[in-house]
Amino acid sequence: MLVLGATGAVGRETVARLRAAGATVVAGARDAAAVTELAERSGAEAVVVDVTDGEQVAAAVRGAKERHGRLDGAVLLAGSILLKPVHLTKDEEFEEVLRVNLWSAFWLLKHAVRAMEQEGGSIVLVSTAAAGTGLPNHEAIAAAKSGLEGLARSAAATYAPRRIRVNVVAPGLVEAKMSARLFASESAKQASLAMHPIGRLGRADDVARAACFFLDPANDWVTGQILGVDGGLAHLKGRGG
């Protein structure tokens, strides 16, 4: 199994769950020290990879296949958050959001399907609830993740005959380092809570369990799905209105 974006909260939880299930895991991230520490603690193999660089993604996929003989699953957990209205978003900011959240998915799909063409496998991408509902100031990330969802659905149709499954997890707001500034104050946290009908923010294990469900070969009749793991954010009214 190849896990890219492995050193974030969701990535660490996903690696731990896969290792506990007995999977061989190649954990990839751009921070060499962090991914090495994760590998030493979890028993995964570390690889340094920046998902905004297509050549590095290709090398990570190719290396995992060459070292272990096959690639049964790949999950992309890297991402970013940019909260700005479109008129205040700089071109270079939008480009960066696309590279982190959409181009990275394109590159993983492009190379992973080649690595899986003989034995089949499962590819899991991560979107956001903002792709399924209009949220203020989410224009850049919503555009990128909506593109990711369309990419995943089409790829699922293209590669189903080769027994390659493509699915997406679409979380709501998850408590993690990347999102910490969004609830820096108690009022901001309460506003975020009110958006989620279930009444709590997401946890890393909520998303990791969903990713592992899609990666599990026992679920090989599931493909082309966008699974909302969002406390109801995308499709239900929040407690605030």
Range of the domain at 6: 2-172+203-229
Indicate the average pLDDT of the chain: 93
| Lowest-pLDDT choice from 124-138, 154-168, 184-198 | 184-198
CB atoms inside a 10 Å sphere around CB 241? 6
Average pLDDT of span 3-26: 97
DSSP state of 126: E
Residue 135 belongs to some domain of the structure: yes
Could you count the other beta carbons within 10 Å of the beta carbon of residue 111? 21
Q: How large is the average pLDDT for residues 210-225?
A: 98
CATH code at position 101: 3.40.50.720
239 domain-assigned: no
- Is the entire prediction scored with pTM above 0.75? yes
Q: Looking at residue 198, what is its pLDDT?
A: 83
Give the tens place of pLDDT for each residue, 75-99: 999 989 899 999 999 999 999 999 9
The pLDDT value given to residue 180: 61
pLDDT per residue over 134-158, tens digit each? 889 999 999 999 999 999 999 999 9
Q: Which residue has the tokens 């998915």?
A: 105
pLDDT one-digit tens code per residue, 17-65:
999 999 999 999 999 999 999 999 999 999 999 999 999 999 999 999 9
Flag whether pLDDT at 121 surpasses 70. yes
How many other CB atoms are found less than 10 A from the CB of residue 97?
24
184 within 8 A of 138, measured Cβ to Cβ: no
CB-CB contact of 203 with 175 (8 Å) = yes
At 72, list the tokens: 């049964």
How distant, in Å, are the alpha carbons of 108, 138, 195, 235 from that of 238?
34, 17, 4, 9
CB neighbour list of residue 201: distance below 8 Å, 6 or more residues apart: 172, 173, 174, 175, 183, 189, 192, 193, 231
Asked if the model's pLDDT at residue 241 lies above 60, the reply is no
- Could you tell me if residue 241 is inside a domain? no
Q: What is the pLDDT of residues 198-208, one digit of tens each?
A: 888 889 999 99
Note whether residue 189 is domain-resident.
no
Q: Has residue 183 got a pLDDT over 70?
A: no
Classified as helix, coil or strand, 226 is strand
> Does 59 reside within a domain?
yes
Q: How far apart are CA 232 and CA 199, in angstroms?
A: 9
Domain count, the chain: 1
What is the distance between the alpha carbons of residues 165 and 219, in angstroms, rounded to a whole number? 10
